[in-house]
């Protein structure tokens, strides 16, 4: 089943509910600064689990105490789709301050 890109209006509406996330070209992006390398590594593991559950994988970068994501849908020509927004929402739920850690 093909996944359709979101329109500019749909993207703006959905990004309004995802503080810290932004559109960078054709990708949703977000970085998190955590308290330690261990906390950042743990968050990467939690994100990997979510990606497997959704069968949707982002570019994920681990720094000393930072985690950065860059998300788009290859099967939609590299555009942002509802799958990307769902992944972003699920990752945001994992972020410190949301009680998932």
For 17-74, the pLDDT digits (tens) are 999 999 999 999 999 999 999 999 999 999 999 999 999 999 999 999 999 999 999 9
* N-term to C-term CA, the chain: 34
Q: Is the pLDDT confidence value at 101 over 60?
A: no
Would you place residue 98 in the very low, low, confident or very high pLDDT band (cuts 50, 70, 90)? low
Total-model pTM: 0.91
H or E, element range at 16: none
Neighbours of 23 (CB within 10 A): 13
Would you place residue 97 in the very low, low, confident or very high pLDDT band (cuts 50, 70, 90)? confident
Q: Is the pLDDT confidence value at 9 over 70?
A: yes
Tell me the C-alpha distance between 83 and 62, whole Å: 22
Note the pLDDT of residue 71.
Answer: 97
Is CATH 3.30.1330.180 correct for 8-94? Answer: no
The domain segmentation of the chain, as residue ranges, is 8-94
Q: Are 5 and 26 in contact (CB under 8 A)?
A: no
Note the pLDDT of residue 1.
Answer: 55
How many residues in total does the chain contain? 101
């Amino acid at each position: 089943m093909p996944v359709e890109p979101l329109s500019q209006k749909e993207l703006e509406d959905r990004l309004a509910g995802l503080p810290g996330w932004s559109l960078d070209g054709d990708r949703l992006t977000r970085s998190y600064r955590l308290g330690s390398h261990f906390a950042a590594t743990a968050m990467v593991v939690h994100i990997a689990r979510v990606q497997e559950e959704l069968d949707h994988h982002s570019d994920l970068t681990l720094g000393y105490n930072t985690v950065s994501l860059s998300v788009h849908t290859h099967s939609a020509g590299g555009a942002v789709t509802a799958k990307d927004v769902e992944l972003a929402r699920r990752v945001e739920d994992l972020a410190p301050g949301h009680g998932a850690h």
